[in-house]
């Protein structure tokens, strides 16, 4: 056993995750989290007792409220959000579309959307498409690919024409941890609204949204929230904005009286008005167990373990991969839960690593992302992964 595992106060929680046959090192928890054994039981119970047992009656027996009740739990445990501000449903793409459109409608006299060139493709593509449809300007922030968005860069990009900014709290490639509170304050001083993509931070990095004054936030449910492939995303709308912002996808569930099936759309009050279609009940179930586990462990303890794992990974990379380049911040205060290591041969080596049971993630042009998930990844896995990379490179 790696001595760091022997002294890890969170080591016992790894037993709660399902094992994967042939796995030596899983370093992609920042992209798809491993399933909890409890989630298998919960989903099976839902299929047998809730779906098969209740059929359509389930909507009147708790299903309809789960996007909001589980949203409140997620807000309390991982987002620093008071009740009534978080809802679960739709995909990250759909929720980003809703928030961008709503923010633009709230600033009708402004003509610019500000986003960085290193943001996740979905975020960039949505901004480009919406700007094209509405005749707006995209103001791009150029960042260091090994770093991310800083207050200085944002201050230079925003102005009286800025309607909304869209940044990621943790950069998907470099793992750079943005100064969310400081950037949000700058954007507010310019009279604009902020949207934060929390997909690579939620469940791993504390994000006290209420305290930071964030306007809108979106994130996925299948990375550190372990909801499974395609798990529903979540949406945060600050309470004082819920009466003035209006989301553009007017589905039946977001109406004030959905079961009256009436003529004309009138949005429900509060966060429920941001829902659109039927709740994704099966996909929602697995997230509940990871939210409960994070609550049990404590998000601060999760973050401490995450920092320790990435610090260990950096130490091993420095020692064993002399021809590779760290493309992530060394300062833990500016780093999320993953790192990226660049080498021109990594693309050709990835299939062999996967075949051997070592699973990092590849990001072009030549980066391997190492994303240990704090509650399911051991220090021994991190070591095995880096040593396998060393052996593959012949170093």
Q: Which of 196, 204, 209 is nearest to 169 (CA)?
A: 196
**Radius of gyration of the CA atoms of the chain, in A:** 21
- List, in sequence order, every residue forming a beta bridge with 237; answer none if it has no partner: 216
Tell me how crowded residue 196 is: count the other CB atoms within 10 A of its CB: 26
Structure tokens at 391: 């052996």
| C-alpha dihedral sign at 332, 220, 250, 125 | positive
The catalytic residue positions are: 120, 197, 222-223, 369
Longest dimension (CA), the chain: 69
Counted residue by residue, the chain has a size of 395
Side-chain-side CA neighbours of 258 within 13 Å: the count stands at: 19
Ordered DSSP codes for 272-297: GGG--S---HHHHHHHHHHHHHHHHH
Provide CB contacts within 8 A for 89, sequence distance 6+. Answer: 67, 232, 233, 235, 275, 276, 277, 279, 280
b/e 231-261 (16+ beta carbons within 10 angstroms → b): bbbbbbbbeeebeebbbebeeebbbeebeee
CB 254 within 8 A of CB 247: yes
Provide CB contacts within 8 A for 125, sequence distance 6+. Answer: none
């Amino acid at each position: 056993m790696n001595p760091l595992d022997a002294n890890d106060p969170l080591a016992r929680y790894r037993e709660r995750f399902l094992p994967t046959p042939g796995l030596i090192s899983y370093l992609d928890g920042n992209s798809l989290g491993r399933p909890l054994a409890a989630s298998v039981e919960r989903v099976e119970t839902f299929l047998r007792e809730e779906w098969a047992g209740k059929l359509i009656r389930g909507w009147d027996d708790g299903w309809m409220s789960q996007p909001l009740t589980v949203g409140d739990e997620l807000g309390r445990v991982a987002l620093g959000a008071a009740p009534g501000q978080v809802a679960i449903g739709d995909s990250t793409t759909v929720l980003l579309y809703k928030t961008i459109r709503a923010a633009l409608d709230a600033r009708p006299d402004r003509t610019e959307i500000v986003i960085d060139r290193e943001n996740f493709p979905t975020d960039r593509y949505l901004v480009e498409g919406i700007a094209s449809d509405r005749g707006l300007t995209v103001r791009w922030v150029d960042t260091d690919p090994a770093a991310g968005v800083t207050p200085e860069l944002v201050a230079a990009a925003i102005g009286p024409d800025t309607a909304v900014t869209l940044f990621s709290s943790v950069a998907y490639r470099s793992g750079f941890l943005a100064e969310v509170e400081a950037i949000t304050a700058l954007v507010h001083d310019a009279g604009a609204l902020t949207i934060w993509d929390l997909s690579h931070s939620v469940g791993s990095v504390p994000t006290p949204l209420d305290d930071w004054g964030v306007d809108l936030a979106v994130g996925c449910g299948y990375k550190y929230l372990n909801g499974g492939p395609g798990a529903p995303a979540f949406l945060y709308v600050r309470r004082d904005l819920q009466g003035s912002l209006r989301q553009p996808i007017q589905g039946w569930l977001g109406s004030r009286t959905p079961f009256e099936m009436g003529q004309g759309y009138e949005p429900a009050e509060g966060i429920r008005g941001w829902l659109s279609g039927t709740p994704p009940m099966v996909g929602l179930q697995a997230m509940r167990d990871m939210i409960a586990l994070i609550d049990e462990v404590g998000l601060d303890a999760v973050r401490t373990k995450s920092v320790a794992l990435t610090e260990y990974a950096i130490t091993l990379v420095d020692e064993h991969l002399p021809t590779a380049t760290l493309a992530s911040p060394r300062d833990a205060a500016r780093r999320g839960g993953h790192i990226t290591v660049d080498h021109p041969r990594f693309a050709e080596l990835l299939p062999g690593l996967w075949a051997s049971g070592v699973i990092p993630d590849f990001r072009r042009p030549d980066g391997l992302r190492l994303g240990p998930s704090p509650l399911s990844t051991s220090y021994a896995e991190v070591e095995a992964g880096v040593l396998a990379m060393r052996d593959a490179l012949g170093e």
